[in-house]
Amino acid sequence: MNVYDGLHWNIYDILPYQRNFNLINSERSIGKTYTTEAYVIDKCIQNHVEFVYISRTKRLKEKGALEKGVSKVVMEMFPEYEFAYTIEEMYIVEDEQKRVIGRCIALSEENESKNMTFPLVKYFIFDEYVIEETSSSRYYNGWDEPDALLKIYHTVDREEDRVICFLLGNNIKFHNPYHMHKAFNIPFTPKGRIWTSENVLFQNAQSSKALKDKKSKSKFIRMIEATDYGTYAIDGEYMGDNYSFIKPLTENAHYSFTFSIDNYSFGVYTSLKEGIVYVSDKVDPSCKLVYALTLEDHRENTMLTTSKQFTQLQWLAKNFKKGNVRFVSMEVKMRAEKGISFLL
């Protein structure tokens, strides 16, 4: 089955790269989820293999994430087949016999799946891997969420490099736990471009001209096109990245101390001339003042603290509250702010 309709996102643009991890970002409603699910389900039916549908939490899984996630595609693209569902599995029914073609695993089940085997799984689908964090919507295990996905992938794939993973998300925040994770380490990529590493592909996809023309006929789209939300929903601009407090390190800043969080180390510099404190990924290895903000970051010759019990950390927290702290890049800001938040 050719799942490309000539209008929406084209999965055949990325498949020739043959990467195991494919992360696709775009504005809303360009068909990336629909097309991916149609492609994967068709392959599973025809080749007698299986896919894993990733749910962020077990609660979402128990609410029927698998069936809800694929129901529209199944109804419209596969009307000739009969399917059945449980919370855990999706079946195709043939000659009154059920065959598993899909499974649902929650990221919060990362440890429960370790002793299971999945020899027929060929694909992963993780929709909405990038989220806008609110009081009711958060990454599982915070910025360590990608580790849960990688652990499940390792359990399923068993180092055979057979499983192809599709992570699909809207342009909410480019600087998110997945793009900044060391396993993915994705650089900012302009719209319409594809970036690859040895085993990772990232596409900042955009609508075709034909799809944009079709969308422009919508009264709703015309209503929001001049709004901030329209810039995100129509133009595909990342809406959640806050570039305030970003500034290059100046030459007159002197080194103060080092702190570590999530296995990343940051140098803290002071510019007396500007009255600014800089946080940089440029670290002085000779510095003796090195603070570990979590037990996992504690090493020889570091001082472990889980509060602002040291004068230097109190000083950093105070300057952060006053708006006197600058980060040398967005990547540094996103990683270092987590550590500074422990001190507030």
Domain end call among 206, 240, 265: 206
- Residue range of the domain that includes 265: 254-341
pTM of this prediction exceeds 0.85: no
The helix/strand/coil state of 58 is helix
Task: Report CA-CA distances (Å) from 231 to 192, 240, 300.
Answer: 16, 12, 48
Whether 247 is in a domain gets the answer no
Q: What count of other Cβ atoms lies within 10 Å of the Cβ of residue 322?
A: 10
- Residue 135: per-residue pLDDT: 66
One digit per residue, the tens of pLDDT, for the chain of length 344 reads 999 999 999 999 999 999 999 999 998 889 999 999 999 999 999 999 999 999 999 999 999 999 999 999 999 999 999 999 999 999 999 988 999 999 999 999 988 877 788 999 999 999 999 998 776 788 998 888 999 999 999 999 999 999 999 999 998 889 999 999 989 999 999 999 999 999 999 999 998 888 888 888 888 888 988 787 777 777 777 877 788 999 999 999 999 999 999 889 999 999 999 999 999 999 999 999 999 998 989 999 899 986 667 889 999 999 999 999 999 998 899 889 888 988 88
164-170 and 194-196 strand pairing:
unpaired
**Tell me, what CATH number does 44's domain have?**
3.40.50.300
Task: Report CA-CA distances (Å) from 166 to 26, 110, 122, 149, 264.
Answer: 14, 18, 11, 12, 27
Whether 238 is in a domain gets the answer no
Is residue 268 domain-shared with residue 325, that is, in the same domain? yes
DSSP string, 165-187: EEEEEESS-SSSTTTTSTTT-PP
Rounded CA separation 65/92 (Å):
17
The structural domain count of the chain equals 2
Count the alpha carbons within 13 Å of 121 in the hemisphere toward its beta carbon: 29
Rounded CA separation 305/143 (Å):
20
Is residue 34 domain-shared with residue 172, that is, in the same domain? yes
Whether 240 is in a domain gets the answer no
Domain end call among 206, 233, 266: 206
Is residue 170 domain-shared with residue 23, that is, in the same domain? yes
Is residue 265 domain-shared with residue 191, that is, in the same domain? no
Whether 117 is in a domain gets the answer yes
Domain end call among 144, 176, 206: 206
